[in-house]
Amino acid sequence: MQSEYIIEMLNIRKEFPGIVANDDITLQLKSGEIHALLGENGAGKSTLMSVLFGLYQPEQGVIKKNGEVVTINNPNDATALNIGMVHQHFKLIDVFTVLDNIILGAEDTRMGFLQKQEARKKVEELSRRYGLKVDLNAKVEDITVGMQQRVEILKMLYRDNEILIFDEPTAVLTPQEIDELMATMKGFAAEGKSILFITHKLNEIMAVADRCTVLRKGKYIGTVNIADTTKQELSNMMVGRPVQLQVEKKDANPGDTVLEVKGLTVPSKIHKNDAVKNVSFQVRSGEIVCIAGIDGNGQTELIHGLTGLEKTSGGTITLCGKDISRGSIRYRSETGMSHIPEDRHKHGLVLDFTLEQNMVLQSFQSSRFQKLGFIKNDAVRAYADTLIEQYDVRSGQGPVTIARSMSGGNQQKAIIAREMDRNKPLVVAVQPTRGLDVGAIEHIHKELVAQRDAGKAVLLVSLELDEVMNLSDRILVMYEGEIVGELDPKTTTVQELGLYMAGAKKAEGGK
């Protein structure tokens, strides 16, 4: 008896210490369909896929293939069942060649020695057939993110996988590359391969998926046919309440120039070229300027050069009328800069410190918190209590909670509390909503708009197109270390923005 479904995950339950990541979740994948799995960050999508892929064992529930119960104890079992996955964070070995990455774990050998000729032929054939262009001899660290993704896809095809899982595949791609990927996925489906497409982007689901299963906070919400639903309905299912897809804000009312960057150049740590090339722009009080672009086009280095985390090799930075180009990190931030860093675990917090210690990370040397080099513990505690209250930072033990034990959203709130309370004229926010759920995102967007309305100059770096379009008053697009265009979000379209991000379009002479 042939089942209608190629893969079924029935009543899956998976617990981690302290939380139930998957609570009675059912997912049924039909042969030859593109099935979207929708949910917020932390809804349990990745956990469910890891269960299917054999990385985790569920406490309850069964997995069936073609109607028969199967056990998947490790990725080898999954591969044997022809299940393959493109992980959100690519599982590639940077120093290996593309070919070595593709064959790793499924090597041909003769007497223990690697035989790569057959493999090379097979990969070249697959690459041609599906139009997945890759350079087999290049090292992964030298190729673009888009090509890395194609390597991941080829890894699945090389293993003759029939069930393909894509975990948030579009986060790192330009709109044009996204279109290509969608076409590739449709091609796979047309050949009879079955696709699970994990995402939180509604547009993409509407564009390619046949059906969609929605998860929320580890629970199964429902499965719908895309033809019978709308974006708003999917969104409500995902979040559990009606969501404003649009950020509410008044028109900007820009004032004086707060930050003026002229000809800034930052050398790259990875390659010989400059990561930021001769970039000039300004940010005025009362406006949100957003730097858009695909990840890895110099945004990180630009901000590091601006804040002093990395040395610049040319150009001037003027903040509030003072030249800070050569200033120390401390001098820059004291001159008038708050900085919500890109990586809250790497830069934003000392995870092993308590919450209150983290709250004074920038200001412990002010006379408010120290006297003759001795820290005033009472003053620190009182200050931390105030911020916790004011910014609604939730944690287990209040000011003495170890930062590591807090949730991502609350960690970010703590950073925002610390940086906003410093009350500096320039707010630099780098991907402030990365990895957070809708509630937290809304909260942070409101805070940034409030800062703008209070007359702050806000410099936002974002990879999320929606965030760019909704939040900013001006958009600067970065491509390969240069600002290739300045756009007005009111008059531009996502498609046009995408062309700039992909480097296909370039404004002459900048502004």
Partner 1 sequence: MTFVVQQTLLFAIPLMIVALAGVFAERSGIINLALEGIMIMGAFVGVYFVRLMQDFDVFLDAARMGNYWTLQGLELLAMLVAAVFGALFSLLLSFAAVNLKADQTIGGTALNLMAPALVLFLVRILANQNTLQMTQGDAASWFMIKKSTFGVDKNVQWGFLGETFLNKVYLATYICILVFVVLSVILYFTKFGLRLRACGENPQAADSLGINVYRMRYAGTTISGALAGMGGFVYALTATNCTANGDVAGFGFLALAVMIFGNWKPLNIALGALLFGLFKCIAAGYGSIDINGDGVFMLAEIGISSHLYRMLPYLITLIVLSFTSKKSRAPKAEGIPYDKGSR
Partner 2 sequence: MNKGKTLLNSDSSRKVFASLLSIVIGLAVGALVAAIVGLSKDNIGGKGIWDGVRLIFLGLLSTGREAGQLTWGFNPSSWGNMLFRATPLIMTGLSVAVAFKTGLFNIGAPGQYLMGTLATLFIALEIPSEAVPPAIIWLLAFLGGMLAGALWGAIPGLLKAFLNINEVLACIMTNWIAANVVTWLFDISNLKNVAEGTKTGYIYKTTFNNVATSKMGLDKLFPESQVNGGILIAILIAIVVYIIMNKTTLGYQLKACGANRHAARYAGIPDKRNIILSMAMAGALAAGGASLYWLSGNTEFYWITYQALPAAGFNGIPVALLALNHPIAVVFSGIFMAMLNIVGQQLTTLTAYNEYITDVVIAVIVYLSAFSLVIQMWLGKRKAKKGGKTV
Q: Which residues bind partner 2 (CB under 8 A)?
A: 16-19, 42, 307, 309, 328-331, 333-334, 339, 341, 346-353, 357, 361-362, 364-365, 370, 373-375, 394, 396, 405-407, 409-410, 436-437, 439-440
* Number of residues counted as binding partner 1 (CB under 8 A): 29
Which one among 45, 65, 87, 150 touches partner 1, defined by CB under 8 A?
A: 87
**C-beta of residue 41 within 8 angstroms of C-beta of residue 437:** yes
User: Where do we find the tokens 């900013």?
Assistant: 472
Instruction: Between 240 and 503, name the residue whose CB sits nearer to partner 2.
Output: 240
Q: Does 137 bind partner 1 (CB under 8 A)?
A: no
SS (H, E, C) 55-117: CCCCCEEEEEECCEEECCCCHHHHHHCCEEEECCCCCCCCCCEHHHHHHCCCCCEECCEECCH
Is residue 93 a contact residue for partner 1 (CB under 8 A)? Answer: yes
Distance of alpha carbon 357 from alpha carbon 45, whole angstroms = 34
Q: Which does residue 270 bind out of partner 1, partner 2, none, counting CB within 5 to 8 angstroms by kind? A: none
- Enter the tokens of residue 356: 């209150």
Looking at 104, 400, 450, 504, which residue binds partner 1 (CB under 8 A)? Answer: 104
Give the 3-state secondary structure of 437-481. CHHHHHHHHHHHHHHHHCCCEEEEECCCHHHHHHHCCEEEEEECC
* Nearer to partner 1 (CB atom), residue 78 or residue 461: 78
Task: Kindly list the strands in the beta sheet with 314-319, ordered across the sheet, starting from the edge strand earlier in the chain.
Answer: 274-284, 257-267, 314-319, 322-323
Q: Which of 96, 331, 364, 369 binds partner 1 (CB under 8 A)?
A: 96
* Binding flag, residue 371, partner 1 (CB under 8 A): no
Query: Least distance in Å: CB of 432 to partner 2?
Result: 14
Phi, psi for 190 (deg, rounded to 5) = -65, -30
DSSP 280-343: EEEEETTEEEEEE--TTSSHHHHHHHHHTSS--SEEEEEETTEE-TT--HHHHHHHHEEEE-S-
Q: Give the shortest CB-333-to-partner 2 separation in angstroms.
A: 6
Residue 254 contacts which entry, partner 1, partner 2, none (Cβ below 5-8 A, type-dependent): none
- Residue 294 partner contact from partner 1, partner 2, none using kind-dependent CB cut-offs of 5 to 8 Å: none
Q: Is 286 left (phi over 0), alpha (psi -120 to 50) or beta?
A: left
In the list 59, 62, 68, 91, the residue contacting partner 1 (rule: CB under 8 A) is 91
Q: Of partner 2, partner 1, none, which one does residue 105 interact with (CB within 5 to 8 Å by kind)?
A: partner 1
Among 2, 71, 112, 367, binds partner 1 (CB under 8 A): 112
Listed ranges 75-83, 219-227, 293-301, 503-511: which one lies at the site for partner 1 (CB under 8 A) = 75-83
Taking the complex as a whole, how short is the minimal distance between the CB of residue 105 and partner 2, in angstroms?
Answer: 30
User: How big, in percent rounded to 5, are the helix, strand and coil portions of the chain?
Assistant: 35, 25, 40
User: What are 310's two structure tokens?
Assistant: 């990395």
Binding site for partner 1 (CB under 8 A): 16, 46-47, 53, 55-56, 74-76, 79, 85, 87, 89-96, 100, 104-107, 109, 112-114
